[in-house]
Every structure is written in C-alpha cells, then in structure tokens.
Amino acid sequence: MLPSSFAEYEQYAEKWCLATEPERWAMRLSTPMPVIREFYDAFTPRFEEAIDYCDKFPLEELPDDVLNLLHLVYSMILVSMAVEVFGTQKPADSADAVIDRVSAPVP
C-alpha cells in the first residue's frame, strides 16, 4: 500500500490510510490509546520525511502508494493531538464532539 521506502509502516496502512477526515476521526475515537501510541511512536521519527516524499509529486498526479502515505500523514496529525495534547482518544469535556466537514481538501 505504501512506497517501498516506507514499507516498515505497512502494518499501520490498512488501519490508518483513510481517505476522509471523518473516517480518521472515527478511527481515533475507536482505537485504544496504546494502539494510537504505538502508531505515533513508530511514525514520528519519519513523519517529516514522509511529508517531503509526498511533496515530490503534484497533488493531481499522486500514485496510489503515495496517496496512501499522505493519508497516513493526515492520520498522524489527528493521532498526535490525542498523544501530545489530550492523552486520550477523545478531547476532555467535549461531550459528543463530532467532525462534520462539508468539504475537504483533495486529496
């Protein structure tokens, strides 16, 4: 699913390579913190490298494996908030917070 230079993250690809923000938000809310932390700890060292890799391609022409890597980056952004800010999947005192995006950047 991912470029060969990021093959060590294949184990996370099926769970975290999600195309939309609502999907990523739902995955974060439904994933136990130890699993979130495992993904965060594994991907953090190469996060900026992954962004640089994706930047080598025009957005309109991303190969599927690079698009999946970009989706992994997007998931990491949501996951990082859970790890670095909240310490839990769900923001504290958020009641039943949901993300209802009416449009989203593409890809």
Q: Within a domain: residue 5?
A: no
Is residue 59, in this structure, part of any structural domain at all?
yes
The pLDDT tens digits along the chain (107 residues) read 999 999 999 999 999 999 998 899 899 999 999 999 999 999 999 999 999 999 999 998 999 999 999 999 999 999 999 999 888 888 766 666 666 666 666 66
The structural domain count of the chain equals 1
Within-domain flag for 99: no
Is 3 inside any structural domain? no
Residue 2, in any domain of the structure: no
Q: Is 30 a member of any domain?
A: yes
Sign (positive or negative) of CA dihedral 49, 39, 85, 26: positive
Residue linked to tokens 């130890």: 34
Domain that holds residue 18: 10-86
What's this model's pTM, rounded to 2 decimal places? 0.86
Compute how many other C-beta atoms are within 10 angstroms of the C-beta atom of residue 102.
4
Instruction: Give domain status of residue 1, yes or no.
Output: no
